[in-house]
Structure 1
Amino acid sequence: MSTSSAESLTRKFTIYFTSIALMVGVIIYGLSLSMLYWLEDEVNTRLLYAASVTAVSDFNAGAPSPLTMTNSITAYNDLSQLPEQYQGLADLPSGFLNEMTNASEQGDIFVYRTDYVAMQSHHPLLLVMNAETAELTENEWRRISLFVFGITSTLFLLFGYALIKLTKRMIQPISQLSDQLHNGQPQQRFQVPDGAVQEFHHLTASLNSYQAQIAQLIEQEHTFSRYASHELRTPLTIIHGASHLLQHDQSPDFQQRQQQRIIKAAADMQNTVDALLSLVKQESRQSEPQPQRKLTQAEMETLISTVSELASKKAVSIELNMQSQPQITPPEAVLRMLISNLINNAINASDGGKIIVTVSDDYIDVVDQGRGLTESEIHQQGHGLGLLIVNALCQRYGWEFDLADAKTGGCIARLRFNTNAIS
């Protein structure tokens, strides 16, 4: 596994591009000097070629050979008059125009060898230019080299600075996100600089979304654990207490009542276990449609009877309005947990009055006349421990759960079989 960090990646990028920039700088420096050398020679040869026209005109006018045209150019139309150091130039072919290195004791020279016609006869023409006087001196070349080197170095430094800034700007969001992930503070929102590219902002938004989902799932897990513990401990306590009482009273009526309590508590525990297992069970064929069944009035009355004792203690009456017998998917244990949670929450939020349970083809409503919703309950974070279980069960079976204030007071809890809104 690689152990490179964002900082080391920045250094690698810097070294890599610095090497490229240095190589490019050396190439540019070499090409610049080479171009200047070529340009200098090209100017001198063209100057020598242009001087040949003047030399021919002067010789036709009777000028003697050798003809001194400038302090650096000398023309000859009689090769026998060439100085001893230039004797080898007589053998050059006509049309030769170039610089010759170490051709004389005076140093490098430019030579142009040609012919011209005068008085109907051909005459040779040789122009010699001293390169030392025509070319730039060593000091001048040194100054030019320093100037080119300075420009190249400045460009190199500017390129390196821009490269480092660009690399840091590219790596900074990654480093910042890495530090935030490493710190791992709860409820921390990930952030990147405003100048970061759009993809980093999308990544940050996704991380924040995933973190919120993880926090919600953790909270749901804690709530689920508390709720499951409460739902399972209550019947166990009843069974344990009734079993203990059976040992102290042997009267038939008393024992029968305790047995009924044990049977009811065991049935409640069984329903709770079935509902929770239905929630966490991994179906082997999730893509296949689940079988539906009819929700009958008798089943709803049985479900309501399980919470009637709590309702009577708070002077709350429960009314069933069975408008239809819809086809539903959840089994009886799951439906019992859904309805009992909603009715229990409605009872706990009421100080009397009436709770109306309405069953239609599209939804099941539980309407109370209680205190209404608090701020946390509006965001579905309160109103009983079983609310998250209700949401999870609805998602499991493709239902939707809504909780809203009723216009006449209290609130409406709705289990929707489709997407109809609360009116």
Structure 2
Amino acid sequence: MASATASPRPMAQADDAPDDPVRSRGRRYRRRLRTRIILSFFLLGTGLTALYAYLTDFARQRVEDQLVEEVMNKNIDEYARRFYSDPTRPPSVPVEQIRGFSYTPDRFERVRQERPEWALLPNGNHNITDIDENGEPFAYKLAVRKTPEAWFFLAYDTSQAARGATQLRSWLYVAVVLFGALSLVIGWWSAARVMSPVSELAKRIGRSGDSTQPEPLAPHFPDDEVGELAKALDDYAERLTEVVQRDREFNADVSHELRTPLAVIRGAAELLLSRPDLDEKTQARLLRIQRAEQQCTDLISALLLLSRNERGRGATDVAKVAEQLFDAHRGQLGSKPLALRLEGAPGQVVVDAPESAVTVALGNLVGNAVKYTQQGEVVVRLLDGAVDVIDSGPGLSAEDAARLFERGYRGTHAEHSQGGGIGLSIVRRLCALYGWSVRVVPGETQGVIATLSFSPDA
């Protein structure tokens, strides 16, 4: 004997969702939002610091070049003036850091031989890189002033300025790294402060979901954006609670009001069946009324459990339920050449659930098989913790397989048959409630195989 118990979550192909997808997605999104805040602070701080460092170095270089060129232009003009005032001796340079060179026309050829790069330069200021006597590279700025009477060159050593610029860039790099790290710390701290009320709101929402009357959220938060969100959630929860309460009251009222006439029908049918003078045709009709009353009672009980989201307990023999379903359908076959067969022994599969729930779930599968199978047989096969409903009907299309458990969907073979397309939707909801699973696949050669599993390992 296999006894099936309800698992904590459904395994149904039709209902294969996680335990709490909304809550798990909420935790993932909160982490992502916190990460985005931290990353935003880091990128903003690092980007602004890097931009400031670049602009600082660019401005320093531009200002320095401009000042040096102004100094070089003034000094070469003064150097030329001193040369023309006394051409017999080399003029002195006004600034000590600048070396001056002057050449008369008779020495132009010497300049072309000794310093060909100088001889080719036009008038103006030029940046030159050269090698000193020790083989080390050095840089200098050269001011050139060429006239037919003389060539003037002023050389200003910029190696020290270049070393200073290199040191400045190194410090700017260090500043970028330090401010990037500081931005990361500030971003982490700010994200924690910003996300703290949101996380607290999520925790309170999670705790409030365990009760039918959720605790108000707004009093626990200040009058800010999170407080406004809490107020909106309180309003939504209040409206949702009212809707759920009305739905539960409606289901309870309908269940109570329908049970009374059904009890009257059952009592009247039993009373009439007890009469010894009944003919076979009347007795068959009364038995059909009795089975219809029992089917309505089971369906009301199952729907009431679904509306309350409550799992009923019991020890239901699936073989007994299958036999009752076959008895109910045999009286409706008429002349249809269809055999109903049970493979399995009583007590082989026992389910920890009310008989009404098992009857509704299995009854929809058997009812569909009988409805769409015009000839052949419908077999209910008992397995270990599961049951197969096998028919020899027209089979299952790809569209039907994808949408079979949707509420209101009627298969391509429904044609003019009666039904609203909610039977398998109820089966799916029962599976979600009890942790069962349901699967419908095409048969090996024809027909459909519907498997209802009552245990996770089935």
Query: Normalising to structure 1: TM-score of the pair?
Result: 0.43
- Greater relative contact order, per chain length (Cα 8 Å cut-off, separation 6+): 2
Using the size of structure 2 for normalisation, the TM-score is 0.40
